[in-house]
Amino acid sequence: MKFLAISGSLRAASHNSALLRAMARLAPAGVSVTLYRGLGDLPLFNPDIEASDPAAVADLRTQIVAADALLIASPEYAHGITGVMKNALDWMVGCEAFVLKPVALLNASPRAVHAHASLTEIVTMMSARIVDAASVTVPILGSHLGEDEIVRHPDISAVLQSALHALRAAVLATRLERQ
């Protein structure tokens, strides 16, 4: 089973990216988590160039379509999701890559309620299936926990493993529905 993880931060020291990398290491047997690295290469969304299918957009779409489920984590900027995350999502509206895709929305900051609500609204509008049991908030921001510390933290790693199991179960349930 393949999960694609998308961080809404371009920062090298991003807490959201560290959280997703930690989740890749905590994934249950049989589940691989790949971190999408092309967010900063996407052109700014413009409906006029949609038909030309820019290579970076095609690559994101291919990776999403090939994934059984998505893990999405975005920082909160000015009470919204980051511009780069919204840009990526806007590119995926027309191609319907999100339709019925099981999605876990991870929140690295209990303060970031607006970004989390906004992400929930956008991804729901795109007809993805948000898996509530896999969508968890963990206090990474301000904790000085890096990827290694998240993996080693007994409470946080348990929450993240439980989220990954819930996402895996949702994928299996979706497969059964389609049979």
Ligand X SMILES: Cc1cc2nc3c(=O)[nH]c(=O)nc-3n(C[C@H](O)[C@H](O)[C@H](O)COP(=O)(O)O)c2cc1C
Q: Which is nearer to ligand X, 111 or 152 (CB)?
A: 111
Residue 167's contacts (CB-CB under 8 Å, 6 or more residues apart) are 3, 69, 71, 102, 104, 131, 134
What is the Cα–Cα distance from 150 to 96, expressed in whole angstroms? 33
Smallest gap from residue 38 Cβ to ligand X (A): 17
Smallest gap from residue 58 Cβ to ligand X (A): 26
Q: Which is nearer to ligand X, 10 or 95 (CB)?
A: 10
Q: Which is nearer to ligand X, 41 or 53 (CB)?
A: 41
Smallest gap from residue 6 Cβ to ligand X (A): 12
Burial of 49-79, coded b for 16+ CB within 10 Å and e otherwise, reads: eeeeeeebbeebbebbeebbbbbbbbbbbee
Q: Which is nearer to ligand X, 128 or 145 (CB)?
A: 145
Binding site for ligand X (CB under 6 A): 9, 11, 14-16, 75-79, 109, 111-112, 141
Residue 134, Cα to own-chain centre: how many angstroms? Answer: 11
